[in-house]
Structure 1
Amino acid sequence: MKDFDPKTITRIKNISNKEYGKAYLDLVDKEFVLHYPNKKVNSILDAQTNEIVILYQKMKDGKRYLTHLVKPIDYKIIEEGIRENYKFGRIFQVIAYTGENGKIPFKDTLLSNLDFRNKGWGDAVELAKISKTNQIESIQNEIYTMFKPFFT
């Protein structure tokens, strides 16, 4: 999906895997189950199939990075028992994927100026809920440009 409107980048979600210190950086398929914390099961279907979600994560070096742009492909909750606190998920399609070597430092983006306290931790929160309305388009355009080399 190389051509899409940056305005469809509407949500952001923190991902983690404390066991490995990184999450979803070994993807081989274009579709994967994006897991949510069990306590966020009610928010799994919030993202619409026409919305693109930014995924970011804190790595072993203690810094946050943007690593994926993804979009949900349907409205089905998947239950898996792989990780005890992350049993539920949804199938997402990869739109852009930086891999380990191309990850985008969070601090180098407009997102670093926003207050993420109690937001985006587990659910795919709307950018409109964490940024001022006049910032959203700038954020969307910046993210689109930064991920462009990684479109799948």
Structure 2
Amino acid sequence: MKKLVAIISLVLTLGLVGCSSTPEVKDVPVSDIKTAINNETLLTIQPVAEVDAKEFYVFENIKDNIKEGFVLQAMINVKLQDVFVVKTDDVEKVKQAIEDYKTNNLRMFADGYGGEDNATSVADSKLESVGDYVYFIAAPNANDIEAKILEMIK
């Protein structure tokens, strides 16, 4: 009986240790993330259009699932630079909406419209989630933008 209790205690202890190793996610307003991206001039294509995620057509059917968010896009229609950051109560719905956007709207960039840089940006785009944040980046310097987002929320 003592061995059984010891084994159960060990399993529970290991379970707690395993669960506690997940990284903490900071509760940062997405407006602070947008400001940090803008202040560090990470957006290489200017001018940039800024849209509240709840007003962006991609999220029209799921805007009730969006707590807050923003969309930044190059205003020059032949150059691709998309940065979305959304805080949501349904990560999977937001990711699916962005996947649909990639498939339906960014196809012309993936096919080379606007030059090789655009095709590369689509191919190297990042769609990730951390906690209740979802971010999408299709830009020439996606790694730098992602690093800034992760610095803010982790």
Higher Rg: 2
Q: Which has the higher contact order (CA 8 A, sep 6+)?
A: 1
Richer in strand (by share): 1
Shorter-chain TM band = under 0.3
With normalisation by structure 2, the TM-score equals 0.24
- TM-score norm. by structure 1 comes to 0.25
Bigger helix fraction? 2
